[in-house]
Amino acid sequence: MRAKGVIDHAQAAGDATTRVVAAIKNNPEGAKDELATAQREVSAAREELGQVPLPQLRRLPDLGRNVEVAGEVLDEVSTVVYDAVPTFVAAAGVFDFSTGHLRRLGADPAKWIDELKTAGQTIKDLPEAIDVLGRARDAVAAIETHGLLPQVASAVKKVGRSLDAAVETVAPAKSASDDVQRALDQGAGALGALKEAAGF
């Protein structure tokens, strides 16, 4: 029951992560609420995991393995929710994740550098956040589900699908972010990179 409680919350956090990523693509203003939901679910899962008598369960290979897997999934989801998703939410004000291009730039390309300087840290952080998400997705995909309780195995696979969908949504922004960073590093002479990132 404890393992199921942990994995249920981890799965709910994974579902909320999917909704956050959908929101940054379709409804950036609603993404913060979904992020808060994901973080609440991670906290609830951590609290549930804290009630599990892990040393005793490790003596019971079948049960102990289920709790360990639940903890592994929770660790990966927690990393995504706290180390990657906040950057995606912030970046939604700079990137249109539905197109992979910049958004909200004025009509005069000569002023784009100044417009983007205020978002400089978010732009720098975005590629690493995408990598964090990708590593978490890979780690969950690598979990062996054979022999796990059905609800635990099912949740692992569902969280994996949620992370797959999230990677698919945010990955196109990585090249645009690199273009923007190069332009910011080079100054106003790099408008070609900015035009490419903006989809011109």
Pairing mode, strands 101-102 and 95-96: antiparallel
Q: Does residue 57 register a pLDDT over 60?
A: no
Confidence of residue 27 (pLDDT cuts 50, 70, 90): confident
Return the beta strands (E) in 1-156 as ranges: 95-96, 101-102
Measure the CA–CA gap between 167 and 77, rounded to whole angstroms: 13
C-alpha pair distances (Å), 82 with each of 63, 191, 194: 29, 33, 29
Measure the CA–CA gap between 179 and 194, rounded to whole angstroms: 6
Q: Does residue 133 register a pLDDT over 90?
A: yes
Q: Does residue 175 register a pLDDT over 90?
A: no
* 8 A C-beta contact, residue 44 and residue 2: no
Q: What is the pLDDT of residue 142?
A: 97
Q: Does residue 102 register a pLDDT over 80?
A: no
Q: What is the pLDDT of residue 140?
A: 95
Confidence of residue 10 (pLDDT cuts 50, 70, 90): confident
Q: Does residue 183 register a pLDDT over 80?
A: no
Q: What is the pLDDT of residue 31?
A: 85
* 8 A C-beta contact, residue 58 and residue 99: no
Instruction: For the full predicted model, state whether its pTM sits above 0.85.
Output: no
Measure the CA–CA gap between 73 and 189, rounded to whole angstroms: 46
Structure-token pair, residue 153: 């195995």
* 8 A C-beta contact, residue 136 and residue 82: no
